Every structure is written in C-alpha cells, then in structure tokens.
Chains A and B, each alone.
Chain A
C-alpha cells in the first residue's frame, strides 16, 4: 500500500461518509415534509427553500442546548452509550458498495502538476469489502443493542432501565429473523461478500424478447419480506418504534438524555434507516447495478451506479416514511409474538427451502428440476382449485362499511337479532331502511 492507494482509500471513505451524512440530513428533512403532506400540512418551510436548512437548525439547537446530567448516573457509560449508537450506525455502512468500479491510470494528469505514473488501479466505491461482508452487518446490528441497553442502564432511572431492557428484547427478537433473511441470500448467492452479492445480481436474465435483471427480490421474495419487516423493527421505526414508548415508559431508554447526547441517539436512529435501506438494496435490489450504456469501468459509469444506488435507497426511505405516516404503533406483546412466532418460523422454513433449491440446482440435471417444479406447481394448483369443495360454508366476508351487505349476506343470527330489536323498539330507525 503506497501513498496513491492511501489517497484513493481516503477519498472513497470521505465520499461514502459525505454521501451518507448528506442522505441523513435529507432524510430528516424529507421525512418531516412527506409526513406533513400525508397529514394535510406543509411541514418545515421557514429556513431555506422548502425548509431544507431545517435539519441544520435543529442540529445546532440540540447541540447548544443545556446538557442535564441527572445525579446517580454512571458517567462513563452514560457518555459512551449514545456515542456507540452513532458510531456503530456509521460502521455498518462501510461494507455497502455505493457505486460502481472504475479504473484510473496509468498516468494521472493533474492540473498544475507534472503527470504522475501510478500504474493501473481499480477503484471501487465501497469503503471496505471484507470476505465476511454481510456477517459484519449482523455483528454491528448486535452491537447496536448495547447503545440502547447501556443508555437505559447508565441513566440510573427505573424507567430508563425498563425501557432499555424492553428495547433490547425487541431488537434481539428481530435480529434473529433478520439474520435468517440474510442467511437465505447467502445460501442463494453462495457468498457473504457484499460486492459478490451485487455482482451476482448484475446479470440479465434473457426470457425471449424481455430481459430481467437477476435481482434477488424475485427468487427471494419471502426473504425480502422477512428482512424488510425486521429492518423496520431493527431501525426502531414506526410501527415498531416501541423503544421510545412515551405512553408507557415516559421516554423509554432515552428518558434521562438531553441535548447533544439525545441528538446522538436520534441521529443513530435516522442513520439506521439509511443503513437498513442500503443493506436491503444491496441484498435484494442489485445495489448500484443498472443499465450503464457502455460506460462500464469509467468514472462516469461509477457515478451512474452511485445514482442508481441513491435512487433505490431513497425509494426505500420513502417506504419507511410512508409506513410511519400510515400505521399506528404496535402493541408490545404483538410485536414480540410477530418476531418469535411468525417471522422466525417463516425464516427457518425459507432458509431450508432455499438450501433445497440450491442443492437441487447443483446436483440434479435441468430437465428433472423443471419436471419436479412443474409437478409441484400442478399439485399446488390442484389443491387451490379443489379446496373450495371441501371448505365448510362460511358467511361472506363483509365489505368495509357496508352494513346492509353484512345483514343480507348472513341471513342467520345477526339478521334475526336485528329484527327482534326492531320489533321491540318501533321508534328505532331500522338499519335496513
């Protein structure tokens, strides 16, 4: 590793960091604007065009606010907890490829300087590409729990402690489902390295006249659903934003935090959304892959990849915002039930199924696989078609807000009851009329 390598690496790190900080700022602003739109409001519009500088103002306000430190805290841990939350959110993004690769050299012709011979070097817009790529994400996700737990514990308050424990329980239960979603992708692509997973998705599948990108979202749809639900819970976003729990636990694990430390926790939360979107895009939507129009290997091509990546990530961020704008917060017991009793079994079954498919693809010859798949589809179709014959007759599901249809459809107990009530109380206006 020489100076040139060092410079390139530094540039990529700075670019990634800037991109990611910028998207955090855009996200905080965009979320407020979009949620406001969904609620017939305008949202921030005071600072800058469309209020775009609001994030900066909020950040500045939080950092200059009075920092209240309650008595009875563990000072070191109390300080480390929010910092670790933010740092871990930053570390997770390191293994995500956020743009294409390009070559520079052999001669670098800088303005105002003599041309330097640096040889041919390949630059990839990814901070770090370890062999264990996706495991790093899981590991960092696990460590992120510490920020919450330690924050709750170090505050020296019962509310914070309970909030921290509760958040930990939530994050652990979703970590498992998320891990299984990731595992299905590992098994499918046969690699842990994020660049290799992106590479595997960048091919085109020719189906006659149309060609589809081989993004994992198509063959791995159950894993995608599993992973995305877990990602929302892991990012502590609505409808799973229970760590805050204002209703039950004052403020949850961050009750005793104020000023800059509180801002750190929330920065980590917003960064978590971007990280989770980026991971989802990398695993299931081909990362920075997209049509390059013959620009492969050039700087423009790499930037085009960056553009595709940003577009996909922003689309996911919008979904996060839409979820927040629409869904009410879940009850805690329902959340735990969903994590342990629904997502985890589905994840286990799907990983097993994926493994079966992969093994079948590798060992059994193509014709047999196709016949097997055809047979399975036929059996499934037969079951679906024949099922109504064996189904016990049930009342028709009522259309929403349609009381007449409800009464008419179930010509049994409910209708009789209504008639009895109508007879006994003649003044009552009948629902049917």
Chain B
C-alpha cells in the first residue's frame, strides 16, 4: 500500500515541476496534421481558371445536404473554367457540414479540397453559409481573375485535363484517342498550386470500351 501511495503522490508531485503541455491557443496556433479536414477550398489552375465545372457531384455525395451548386455555361467571351460549364453559384452550409470529405472524393477535377482552416465560429446563421467568393482559392501569382476570353486561354496552350483522358485544349489540336502513348502529361504533373495532394492517387476518368 505504501509503495502505491509513494508512486501515486510521487507522480503528481513530480509533474508539478515539469513543463506544462498546454498550447496557449488564441496566441499560439499549431499546424494540424496533413490530412486534417478543415473548411473547403475551391482550387484554380495556374492561370487563374477555376477547376470547378459545376457538375454537382459534390452536392450529390454530401450526406448532410450541405452543398448547393448551380452550374452555368462558359461562353467564348466569359470563360471561368476549361470545358463547357463552370460553377456559377457555389455554397457550403457549415452548420450542416460534417467534414466527412465525401465531396472531395466525388470531385472529378480535384477542384474541391479541404484546407487547414478550422476557426469557423460565428454568431449568425447567415455567415455560416460560405459562398463561392469565400471558398475560392486565391489567385496564383501572375494570374488574371476570371472570366477570361477564349483567345487568351488558347494563347497559353495549357493542357487542363491531363492523363490518359487528355482532351484537346480550347482552340488547340484535335482531341486525341484514349490511352495516347505520346501524351506527355502525367497525373503527377496535374497537381495544381492550391491542391492538397491526398494519398490514393488522382481521380481517374472512366475508361469506356470502344463501341
């Protein structure tokens, strides 16, 4: 019994003279773990075009119905994203979001990822609904804010959807066949500046058989 008492009281007695492990939170902030699920971020390509194509897959995947997306068509004069459509309206309701990350799994263009921002407290319901301008990643250095014109985009000659399913860039050479062996773009290069690379590889487009 006395040994147990000595050990027990000794432990608390010793701990008193150790350095506390407390983080003084509002003053000192620690970077969370790499795979931490913070609030979402809508990524861009290097030239400033949005990755979101307004496909609404994230909204469909969301178990809490927290995401609202309304897509719209790109026009030659006002282009927001490569391809046909872009996310015109994008809202995430953080009163409902459970930070499960299923929306990120669903996103075909890696547009939607999660950041490390976790300070989301607010005292009004309205401010907890994040709109597209709040979620959008900052512009990469030297990039121009959307919308761009097709002529500008074509001049850059960028490949926006690389990988085996690479398509022709807007105004570029014609579309190539599936599994083009000469395709220089590999999925690894496709990671944009604001994209957090998650484990498990990139999103592969469906490989259809030849009809």
Question: Measuring CB to CB, which residues of chain A are less than 8 angstroms from any residue of chain B?
Answer: 34, 36-42, 322, 325-327, 400
Contacts and interface: CB of A to CB of B under 8 A. Distances in A.
The 10 tightest CB contacts between A and B, nearest first, are: A38-B12, A37-B16, A42-B22, A326-B12, A325-B12, A40-B21, A42-B20, A326-B8, A41-B22, A40-B20
A395 B16 CA distance: 37
Contacts of A41: 20-22
Nearest to A38: B12
Contacts of A38: 12-13, 15-16
Nearest to B22: A42
Interface string B18-62: 111110100000000000000000000000000000000000000
15 contacts: A37-B15, A37-B16, A37-B20, A38-B15, A40-B15, A40-B18, A40-B21, A41-B20, A42-B22, A42-B24, A322-B9, A325-B12, A326-B9, A326-B12, A327-B8
A327 B9 CA distance: 8
A41 B3 CA distance: 26
A322 B15 CA distance: 12
Nearest to B23: A42
From B4, B7, B15, B18, name the one whose CB has the most chain A CB atoms within 10 angstroms.
B15
A46 to B, nearest CB: 10
B73 to A, nearest CB: 55
Nearest to A325: B12
Contact of B20 (A36, A326, A400): A36
B37 to A, nearest CB: 27
A30 B15 CA distance: 16
Contacts of A327: 8
Given A34-B16, A322-B12, A400-B7, 12 more contacts: A36-B20, A37-B16, A37-B20, A38-B16, A39-B15, A40-B20, A40-B21, A40-B22, A326-B11, A326-B12, A327-B8, A400-B3
B46 to A, nearest CB: 45
A220 B7 CA distance: 27
A268 B44 CA distance: 63
From B4, B11, B16, name the one whose CB has the most chain A CB atoms within 10 angstroms.
B16
Contacts of A37: 15-16, 20
Contacts of A400: 3-4, 7
From B8, B13, B20, name the one whose CB has the most chain A CB atoms within 10 angstroms.
B20
A322 B14 CA distance: 12
